[in-house]
Chain A
Amino acid sequence: MIVMNPMEKFKAKITLFHCINAFTEHVSLSTDDREVKIVKMPCSGMTTEVFMLKAFEAGADAVAILVCPEGACRYMEGNMRARKRVEKTSNVLDKIGVGGKRLSIHNLAAKNSDSVPGLLDEIMSTIKELGKNPAAAA
């Protein structure tokens, strides 16, 4: 077991999957203490388990999925499917010692991009609590 020191200073890596209908990037989300990678999806429903896992495998300390408000998916149920997949994948992450809390899903109020930096701050505090992704390639 690799023991991580949660207090160790590092630049957090966050991968953000988002539905193109849910969110428009208008500010840079990366800051001094976090590097945010953005993956645009035609619909959040296409964010399958393997994409989320691969993001972690590639070194993300946290992965977040930004989806349209409930009932407002252009493809009817894409955001609901995304939520179910997040639940399942988060379970897998717990089992493999990465930590399911690192994966989160957020319904954004109608294209409310302004709320995203706040969300990222919340995610940052989760990362601070859990430390670096223990499964990140050395």
Chain B
Amino acid sequence: MELILSLGIGVLTGSGVWLLLRPRTFQVIIGLCLLSYAVNLFIFSTGGLRTGAAAILQRGEAGTLANYADPLPQALTLTAIVISFATTALLLVVLLASRGLTGTDHVDGRERDR
């Protein structure tokens, strides 16, 4: 199971990094999204993979890690999801504005000199 997830993280990262290094703005955005999936999963996995662990506590009970999933990486990941959403939105608008101003969708705002 760990192997599957880590391979998945690896593929997401590889695809994301590849796209990040491409010259077109849309590729970079998609790459950033893929990369953030990978990173979010990675942060999440640092709590250990637990199938079927309860996520919700019983009333009046103090939970332990034996019965419950680790909430800390989850809280971190939740924050990370939100922030990556915000940065993606910002990047998209900045890139659109740049495309409108410069007339090209190259990340540098001008086509590469040949």
A and B, one complex?
no
Could you tell me which B residues sit within 8 Å of A by CB distance?
A: none
